[in-house]
Structure 1
Amino acid sequence: MAAITEKTARAYNDLVEINETGAKGYQEAAEGVSNPQLKSEFTQLSQQRAQFASELKQHASQYGIQTEQEGTIEGAVADAAAAVHRGWINLKSAITGQDENAILGEAETGDATALKAYETALSAEGLPQDAKSLIQQQHGQILAAKNKITSLKK
């Protein structure tokens, strides 16, 4: 097994945090819309992000990376949480106003933030090939979701 670098460990931690936050954000979005199609879409995306986080945790553990231990890598989780928070910050106000287009816009912003984190992770030095494959696959699915969310905006 290849030696895991700090950048690889940080990539896993960041992506787990981003997906856990995305799952919560999409669940809140599902609860904040009345349109059954959007509610279903957001619920599916919430489940998808929860699954991504689970896959990443399981994968990281194969390399001895503990994704649940916050602060183990110089603020990695804090940085990821801050970026994700910026990506989903206005979701609550959009939900409060029940503005579906605004909720879609905030979901789109959250996905854009996630995509940047995935691209950063893919550039990490020493990323094992199987990790790169998993991250690329998830990146593709998030990109497809973002494109679908964009198409749903009025």
Structure 2
Amino acid sequence: MNNEKTVSVLNDLLNITNDRIEGFSKVEDKVWDTHSTLKADYDQMVSQSQTMKSDLIRLINECGGNADNTTSTAGALHRAWIDVKNSLSGDKDESTLGNVVFGEKAAIDAYQDALDSGDLTPQSAQVVSDHLHHLKSSYARFENLDELN
């Protein structure tokens, strides 16, 4: 197993996880006035993201790599687009939570691609698989927002 490939894949996931954390910071507290039942799930997602970040940094270090503890360019562009879209949207609560769902789906796809790449060590693959399970679980709680209203 090539550690450079493993480190590269893990750094990509670290960037995605940092995108997730950055995106969560954009959710405004007033959203929870309308969707109070989701607040505890959301708080768990934020906490879980920090744990995932720590796990990825640890794995990168164990493989002899240096963690690229930044966000991705695509994530930055997406957040800028969200800011523009939200400034024009009439229903910012629904738009904001819709963006959470979009971000969770993008993270799921990235984690699945990482597992499918074959570039992870067995230990890394297990951690990434556990992260993917958590991502799918949080996505499932938010994907049907229309049914909650």
Deviation at 1:65, TM superposition (A): 1.5
1:128 aligns with 2:138: no
Seen in structure 2, the aligned counterparts of structure 1 residues 145 and 86 have a Cα distance that, compared at 3 Å, is: farther
Matches of 1:42 and 1:121, distance apart in 2: 25
1:84 aligns with 2:82: no
2:86 to 70, 73, 94: 94
Matches of 1:30 and 1:42, distance apart in 2: 12
The residue number in structure 1 matching 2:50 is 50
Moved more, 39-48 or 133-142: 39-48
Task: Compute the RMSD of aligned alpha carbons.
Answer: 2.6
Contact 2:15/2:68 (CA < 8 Å) preserved in 1?
Answer: no
The residue number in structure 2 matching 1:33 is 31
TM-score normalized by structure 1?
0.77
Deviation at 1:53, TM superposition (A): 0.8
The residue number in structure 1 matching 2:101 is 108
Structure 2 unaligned blocks of 5 or more? none
Moved more, 29-38 or 45-54: 29-38
Seen in structure 2, the aligned counterparts of structure 1 residues 146 and 87 have a Cα distance that, compared at 3 Å, is: farther
Structure 1 unaligned blocks of 5 or more? 71-76
Identity of aligned residues (%): 18
Length, aligned pairs only: 143
Deviation at 1:22, TM superposition (A): 0.6
Contact 2:24/2:46 (CA < 8 Å) preserved in 1?
Answer: yes
Matches of 1:29 and 1:41, distance apart in 2: 13
TM-score normalized by structure 2?
0.79
